[in-house]
Every structure is written in C-alpha cells, then in structure tokens.
Chains A and B, each alone.
Chain A
C-alpha cells in the first residue's frame, strides 16, 4: 500500500467511525419531527411531540430536579476536585499519597452498580445510627459529587501539570504569601480548567441513571430515571423531542466553551510573546 492509498484508507476509516458515533444522534433528531405515533414509521413532519413534551408534567418536574442536582453536584465536585488535584500535584510525598491517588481515580472506572449499591448501603447504615440523611436529593447529590470529584481531579490535575510553575515562583519571590499566590496567580490560571470541569461534572450528573436509581427516595425521580423507565417499556416519541432539545442545548454550550478556551489559549500565547519581546 503506498502513502496515498494509506491516506484514503485512514480517511474512510475515520469517516466510518464518526458515522457510527453520530448515526443514533441524527436518528433521534430526525424522528422527533415525525408525526406518527409509531417511532419507527415516518408519516410527515410535525411538532406534535414537542407540544406533548411541554404538557408532560412528570418529565418537566424530573428535568428541573436533574438540573438542580447537576448544578449543585458540579459545584461540589469542582470544589473537592480542586483540592485533591492540588494536593496530588503539589505534595509529592505524604503518608497515604498512593491511596489518595487510587481513591481519586477508581470511581472513573468502577461499574456504576457497585458505586451505587455500596454508597446506598453505607447511607442506610448511617441513617439507622443517626436518623439522617433521608433518601432523596441529598443522597443523589452525594453519589454524583463523588463521581464528579474524580473527573474534576483529572481535569484540574492535567492543567496543573501543564502550568508553568515559574509564575508561582515569581509571585513568591515578589513577597506573596502562599494563599495570595494561590488566589492571585494559580486560581486565575486554572479558571479554564475549572470551567471545563464544571461542564463535564454537570453533564455526568445530568446523565446518570444508575447511581440516582440506587440513591433516590420516593418522590425524587431525575430525568434519566423517567426516561429509563419509559424506554424499558418501549419506544416513546416524546423522548425523541426531549433528546433533540438537550442535544441542541449541549452542542451550543460545548461549541461556545471550546471557542472560549481556544481564544483564551491564543490570547495567552500572544501575551507571552509580547512579554518576551519586552
């Protein structure tokens, strides 16, 4: 195989994989505009299922609950993720560093059912001893925040590794106290990473069905839980409409944040070049 053939082989391979990844998404969007009651039969274009979605009280309540949990979970995750990334990056030697590192990366791969069940059994034991917490928003939040913290740690830690420690050293030489170095130099430099960690952990929480199912109590159904219970029963066209709405929102946010971070990177490069010239 010569190099042109290889190039074309590579391009078609990538195209096929992208087609595989995007096919279900396009189907969801296309069929959300289908008038037919049967998800798989195309009759004609309509906004019928969007109207049905607007009157679906259960689903709307579930979306609201999911948004609330996702927002809180992302905040908590970024907070603890910042601390654990900072601890693992800055302090090379302390007792139990290996354990912390393992504990922080294990939730990334651990099957959801294990995390959900073990967390629930612990919370039940705590509740039997203390009478608190009730299963509901708070317990779901804890599960999501545990998962989110692990992801936030990875994002913040990789940014810390890329970061130039000279800037912190310079601030230190100029007489900054350690906490001043952190708030005036490190934190602003970490801002883009914190933002992407927030978006990632928000999405994770908004998407989770297994942890929520284990940890929720009566009256607390998140959006994925409602979708899951309907999808188990069969196909339901208003889910396609909901999917389309979330896909549009997510695409806009991801696109905007990618653009923002690219611009930030370019700006930083320009500033750096300017500083070196002077």
Chain B
C-alpha cells in the first residue's frame, strides 16, 4: 500500500486532477442530496406558514438583510402533549424492537458462526433471501397471518388452545411482530460478521484454564463482540424510531409513532413548517446514536 501511495504521488499533475475528480464527485453528490436538504428543512421549520407557500426567511431592507425566525412550530411542538407522548412511545417501541432483535439475533449469529464452514454461505444466503423480497409484501403477509380469521388464529382454534380468536392485528403486539421481523436481519448480519472473526484460541485458553463454558461466553465472547452488538443495535434502533410503513399497516390507528405524525402533518395537514420542526426534533433525538454509529463505521474501515 505504501509503495502504491508513493508511486501515485510521484505521478504527473494529470493524476492530481484525477484525485480531485474521484473525491469531488461523490462529495458533491452527497453534499447536495444528503446535507443541503437538512439545512433547508431547518430553514423551513423556522419560517411562517402562509396559505400558498412558505414565506422566505430573509428579506432585504435596503442593503441590510433582515432575518425573521419564526419559532411558532417549535413552540407548538413543545406545548402539545400529544407530540411528546408520540416521541416517547416511538423511542420505547424502537427500544423494545432493538432488545428483542438482540435477544433473538445474538444466539442465532453465535450458532451460525459456529456452524461448519461450508454451511455458513448457505445459512447467510437464507438470511438474505427474505431481505431481497419486497419488504412491503412481507409486512402485508403478516396482516394476512394476524387477522381474526387468519392463519394463526385458525390454527390455534383448531388445536383447541383458544375458544375465540385473539385480537392480534392493529395492536402493539402486531406492531412489534412486524418491527422485529423486518429489522432482525440488520441485527444478525453485523453480529455474524463480528462473531465469525472471533479468535477461537481465546476460548480454548479459557477452557484449558478451567473456565466453565457459560462463564467463558460472558467473560470472553460477549465483550469481544461488543462492536458487533453496538453496530447491530444502532442499525435497528435509528431507523426504527422513524418507521412509518409498519405502524401504518400493522399498528392500527392508536399506535403512536412519530413517522406517522410527520407523514400526516405533511400529506394531510399540508403544514410544511410543522413537518419540518417534527423532523428536526427527531433528528436531534437520533443524533447521539447516529454519531456512535458513524464513529464505528469509520473505525471499522480504517
């Protein structure tokens, strides 16, 4: 690598423009499509709603720009208890989803990493396969499974465990099923990537020194897989906070999720500053997990 870098540096100035191009192109792409939009949302969340359009923030009075910040959207957000309740319930749903995914996914990834090598490629493909089929269709399928006269209720009735159908669809239960189902692969993949690289010699050493397998697991395997655990949890938690499709299809009208509030502010109420303010507050909430995730990403690749 070092020699390559040196020979790259020794090249002609033509390469310098090449370097600039290679860096500049993706930079411009991401700055325009991922960074600039957030600034614009911030701007719109601070402007006043008018009947036809969102008013401008900067007006010119002679040579002096006058900046008018309208924080009414944020004040409304803070004063209305429903918003607070929705943020809290989004976070708790995302938290439970993360915990359940970890509980289901960690043993799975552990045993997968310990399966015979020639099986692992197939096992991995089987995890990826549902991932390749439409997410929307799979959520829709859960609707078919969980309705009152659906497959699960019919099966339970047939074996006599229940006398009347259980109300499962449009409850927090069905929402959690859908969330865990959709995010489980995102937990398993980083955990597996981490656990399959675990050096078996540590475990052997522990066993030689008379450590009980369970103790070895808690004292060696779990701490060594910390990076995988954190990565998996962030990959599940952050998008789960803002989930829209799953609560809309499986959660019924009473489950409070902030993604739905944002959607309704925008599509039903047409209140752009309010939708912007909801977005900015959501961004602030996921800022810390996002920073942890980004740090992990850059460390893992360095």
Partner-B contacts on A (CB < 8 A): 6, 10-11, 13-14, 17-18, 20-25, 27-28, 31, 38-41, 80, 83-84, 86-88, 90-92, 94, 96, 98, 100-115, 117-119, 121-122, 125, 128, 142, 146, 149, 153, 157, 161, 165, 168-169, 172, 177-179, 203, 206-207, 209-210, 213-214, 224, 227-228, 231-232, 235, 239-240, 242-243, 246-247, 250-251, 254, 258, 262
**Which residues on the A side are within 8 Å of B19 (C-beta)?**
91
Residue of A nearest to B237 (CB): A109
Partner among A94, A105, A119, A242 whose Cβ is within 8 Å of the Cβ of B294: A105
- A110 with B238: in contact, given A100-B30, A239-B140 (CB under 8 Å)? yes
Q: Is the CB of B37 within 8 A of A121?
A: yes
Q: Is the CB of A25 within 8 A of B141?
A: yes
**Which residues on the A side are within 8 Å of B141 (C-beta)?**
24-25, 27-28, 243
Q: Is B134 an interface residue (CB 8 A)?
A: yes
Measured CA separation A122–B136 after assembly (Å): 27
User: Per-position contact with A for B120-133: 1 when CB-CB < 8 Å, else 0?
Assistant: 01010111111011
Partner among A21, A232, A239 whose Cβ is within 8 Å of the Cβ of B127: A21
Partner among A24, A28, A121 whose Cβ is within 8 Å of the Cβ of B272: A121
Q: Is the CB of A227 within 8 A of B140?
A: yes
What's the minimum C-beta distance from A237 to chain B, rounded to whole angstroms? Answer: 10
Q: Is B288 an interface residue (CB 8 A)?
A: no
**4 closest Cβ contacts across the A-B interface?**
A111-B242, A84-B26, A24-B141, A10-B111
**Which residues on the B side are within 8 Å of A117 (C-beta)?**
41, 262, 266, 275-276, 279
Q: Is the CB of A142 within 8 A of B275?
A: no
Q: Is the CB of B126 within 8 A of A87?
A: no
What's the minimum C-beta distance from A244 to chain B, rounded to whole angstroms? Answer: 9
Partner among A20, A110, A149, A177 whose Cβ is within 8 Å of the Cβ of B181: A20
Q: Is the CB of B30 within 8 A of A21?
A: no
Which secondary structure dominates where chain B touches chain A? helix
Q: Is the CB of B282 within 8 A of A111?
A: yes
What's the minimum C-beta distance from B217 to chain A, rounded to whole angstroms? Answer: 10
Q: Is the CB of A13 within 8 A of B108?
A: yes
Measured CA separation A164–B29 after assembly (Å): 29
**Which residues on the A side are within 8 Å of B266 (C-beta)?**
117, 214
| CB under 8 Å from chain A, chain B span 268-283 | 272, 275-276, 279, 282-283
Q: Is B191 an interface residue (CB 8 A)?
A: no
Q: Is the CB of B140 within 8 A of A178?
A: no
* Chain B interface residue number, banded: 35 or more
Q: Is B18 an interface residue (CB 8 A)?
A: yes
What's the minimum C-beta distance from B115 to chain A, rounded to whole angstroms? Answer: 8
What's the minimum C-beta distance from B230 to chain A, rounded to whole angstroms? Answer: 13
Q: How many interface contacts (CB-CB < 8 Å) are there between A and B?
A: 246
Measured CA separation A100–B137 after assembly (Å): 34
Q: Is B96 an interface residue (CB 8 A)?
A: no
**Which residues on the A side are within 8 Å of B30 (C-beta)?**
84, 100, 103-104, 146, 149
Q: Is B70 an interface residue (CB 8 A)?
A: no
Q: Is the CB of B142 within 8 A of A24?
A: yes
Q: Is the CB of A105 within 8 A of B184?
A: no
Partner-A contacts on B (CB < 8 A): 1, 3-5, 7-8, 11, 15, 18-19, 22-23, 25-27, 29-31, 33-38, 40-41, 44, 53, 104-105, 107-108, 110-112, 114, 121, 123, 125-130, 132-145, 147, 149-151, 154, 181, 184-185, 213, 234-235, 238-239, 241-245, 248-249, 259, 262-263, 266-267, 272, 275-276, 279, 282-283, 286, 290, 293-294, 297-298, 301
Partner among B7, B26, B301 whose Cβ is within 8 Å of the Cβ of A83: B26
What's the minimum C-beta distance from B101 to chain A, rounded to whole angstroms? Answer: 11
Partner among B15, B23, B142 whose Cβ is within 8 Å of the Cβ of A94: B23
Measured CA separation A26–B19 after assembly (Å): 50
Measured CA separation A17–B149 after assembly (Å): 24
Q: Is the CB of A101 within 8 A of B18?
A: no
Measured CA separation A206–B132 after assembly (Å): 10
Q: Is the CB of A235 within 8 A of B144?
A: yes
Given contact pairs A113-B242, A113-B263, A146-B33, a sample of 11 additional A-B residue pairs in the complex whose CB atoms are under 8 Å apart: A23-B145, A24-B141, A101-B301, A104-B30, A106-B290, A111-B286, A121-B40, A169-B7, A209-B245, A227-B140, A250-B132
Measured CA separation A228–B267 after assembly (Å): 15
What's the minimum C-beta distance from A127 to chain B, rounded to whole angstroms? Answer: 12
Partner among A14, A103, A109, A128 whose Cβ is within 8 Å of the Cβ of B35: A103
What's the minimum C-beta distance from B51 to chain A, rounded to whole angstroms? Answer: 16
Measured CA separation A14–B122 after assembly (Å): 13
- A247 with B133: in contact, given A86-B22, A172-B7, A228-B245 (CB under 8 Å)? yes
Q: Is the CB of B34 within 8 A of A251?
A: no
Q: Is the CB of A227 within 8 A of B29?
A: no
